[in-house]
């Protein structure tokens, strides 16, 4: 479901020296934290209530009693992404299984649209993907060709090759996809500003 929004200015009495509060009501992406193993149930509730959501899944093989079966599991255990405007931010919290928003303090932290789009690109690429321990440090690279062109992440070398690790900072979780066949380029790191320049 597509959503649209605009900046909303409350009708406040204008007084000299008193700034007018501007509340942005454009829908943004957020992550909600769920009860354990309730991600799919929360997604179904979002669907029933007409809320725009995103639940990335990956395929895993479970073995028991000498038998194996492929199952779909959440890429980010305990989280579901939901798109909502600030004025309607309490609606997702009313869904059974939702505990709270991801973020610092009482204010939910929005997730950039391009982060969600990057996750979608990886899922539709058909490449094998799975959860990865949170990784924030490393040499940043960008994929420059193929269906994942434009994505930025960190390369991790393994015995079988290279992995492209993409992290969602808001929830401090990462995923990894094999880099075989992808052309990458280093992303230049911006140097820190000289303190003398800042003081000028």
Residue 3 falls inside a structural domain: no
pLDDT recorded at residue 200: 45
pLDDT recorded at residue 192: 45
pLDDT recorded at residue 5: 32
Contacting residues for 29 by C-beta, under 8 A, at least 6 apart: 54, 81, 82, 83, 110, 111, 112, 113, 115, 116
Please give the residue range of the domain that contains residue 131.
Answer: 114-188
CATH label of the domain that carries residue 106: 3.30.70.940
Residue 194 falls inside a structural domain: no
Q: Which residue, among 52, 70, 63, 69, has the nearest Cα to 1 in the 3D structure? A: 52
pLDDT along the chain (200 residues), means of 10: 34 50 76 97 98 96 83 96 94 96 85 95 92 87 88 87 91 91 75 45
How many separate domains does the chain show?
2
Query: What predicted TM-score, i.e. pTM, was given to this entire model?
Result: 0.80
Residue 119 and residue 184 share a domain:
yes
pLDDT recorded at residue 24: 63
pLDDT recorded at residue 2: 33
Residue 129 and residue 51 share a domain:
no
pLDDT recorded at residue 183: 79
Residue 86 and residue 39 share a domain:
yes
pLDDT recorded at residue 66: 78
Q: Give the whole-angstrom CA distance, residue 17 versus residue 7.
A: 22
Token couple for 19 = 């700034």
């Amino acid at each position: 479901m597509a959503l649209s929004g605009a900046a909303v200015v409350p009708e406040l009495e204008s007084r000299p020296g008193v700034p007018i509060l501007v509340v942005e009501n454009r829908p943004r992406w957020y992550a909600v934290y769920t009860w354990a193993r309730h991600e799919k149930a929360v997604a179904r509730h979002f669907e029933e209530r007409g809320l725009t959501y995103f639940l990335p899944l990956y395929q895993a093989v479970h073995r028991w009693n000498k038998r194996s079966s492929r199952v779909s599991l959440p890429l980010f255990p305990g989280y579901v992404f939901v798109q909502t405007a600030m004025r309607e931010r309490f609606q997702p919290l009313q869904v059974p299984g939702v505990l709270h928003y991801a973020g610092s303090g009482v204010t939910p932290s929005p997730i950039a649209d391009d982060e969600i789009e990057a996750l979608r690109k990886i899922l539709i690429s058909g490449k094998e993907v799975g959860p990865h321990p949170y990784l924030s440090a490393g040499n940043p690279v960008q994929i420059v060709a193929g269906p994942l062109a434009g994505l930025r992440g960190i390369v991790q070398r393994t015995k079988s090759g290279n992995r492209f690790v993409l992290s969602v900072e808001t929830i401090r979780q990462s995923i990894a996809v094999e880099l075989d066949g992808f052309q990458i380029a280093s992303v230049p790191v911006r140097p820190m500003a000289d303190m003398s320049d800042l003081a000028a």
